[in-house]
Structure 1
Amino acid sequence: MKHTKTVCLVILFALGLAMPLAAQSVGGGLSFWVPESLYLGRGGSVGIESALGSSLGLGDMLSLPVGIAYNKVYGLLPEGDAAGLEPLPWFVADTLLGFVMAKARLAVGPVYVEAFGGGAGVWNMTLVPLTANIESDIAAAGQTVTFTGNPTITGGQFGWGWQAGGAIGVTIGPVSVDLNVTYRAVKTPATVTGDYYAIDESGSTGSGLLSYGAESIFIRLAGFNVGIDASFAM
């Protein structure tokens, strides 16, 4: 199963990196990324995402967009029993996302609306733990947790999920420009380990050095994109 996922991710990124020869349009865009940690009130910040893509038309109403997007994400939440119910963001990552979707378009004159959705795979090229947030989340009531260094992250590089959204735009000759909104939910498996001290309210570390064992989590790349895309019909 693990081998199959790896092969599928490689194929997905290869499709995103190569503009298909049969593409009927190519383009790109910029968008504001709003991580779920931000609108849930747990921290994080808005980022800028840049994307390149191409689209293979299947008639006037249907197409298959394929592309890649880069985003430095501040606000990756953990998911799993080890993370608790309302965790803070645990990671910052440079992410490269590949996607393959199906898109439907309805045009009235030069104006059009679109709906789209499909699969997405992510490569977390760098993954930096937000140690203070992890310490806060794993501390018991009345305790302060301090790691002896940064926690060790195993895995956490490749994951996949889905994205979907809609757009409204206008076509002027061969050029189309649209305003779009996309929701994305992609998960990457990882484990977090490290040594820490648990300090109680009196300042005592009576338990001595403790180990945070191989706690399995999923790293969630989830949130909304609001952006502008432009494409050129070939």
Structure 2
Amino acid sequence: MILLLLALISFTCALCFFIWEKSQLFDRSFLEQLVIEYYRSKYRLQDFLRDQKNNIFSTSRVKVQNLSAPQFIKKHARAYEPTPYAVLDRIFDKLSFFDKTELAFIDYGCGRGRTLNVAKAYGFKNLQGLDIDAHLLQSCQNNLARNGITNFEAQLFHISADDYLPPEGDKIIYMYNPFDEEMLRSALNNIKQTQGEAFLIYVNPVNQRIFKEYGAELVRHYDHPYEDYSFSFFRMKNDSWVKI
């Protein structure tokens, strides 16, 4: 019993030291970092269990240097890290009023396809995903197939955002901070050139000011105790969208 207590104390001290070190590294208070580590640990466990339930594998992170893409493209990319299921559920719950049979849902930096799988589960019929890493796209295709999502329902593109033109018509576009400012500007410029209105979901919106430069109107911002999981809704070419 004493040994167990000592082990617990040692573990707690080590954990506190780890959190303190990270708080110093990112210039946060100990309490702020503690909250962040709580959510990250909680979401990792939830994501693992949800992947098991959905019979897919989408959880692991891929560093930028390990992405399978040319360096001139990779230099604009962020590390692949899927959005936590809890955050996705929060987002898709707010899209309930849209006609999901008509709208295209497009994931920029789709990775292993977690967001596309969730979009399908929430009723979207026309899915598109793009990524610069062919290996991640193959994993995405496999994960979609395991959930019975056919190539007719989901189109995948091995392409960078500056070379991709979204389909004509109204669409919902999803971004989990997938690239830097330069690539974001190219992507938004291409989106602006297509017909129809675009409703944009931007998770971890560190560069949301750039959306406004391209005529996107901020609909609403949703905070999260860990800022990486906050998100903003934008719209381009206002017409007759449902207010969220």
TM-score by length of 1: 0.20
Which structure dedicates a bigger proportion of its chain to strand? 1
Larger relative helix fraction: 2
Structure with higher Rg: it is: 1
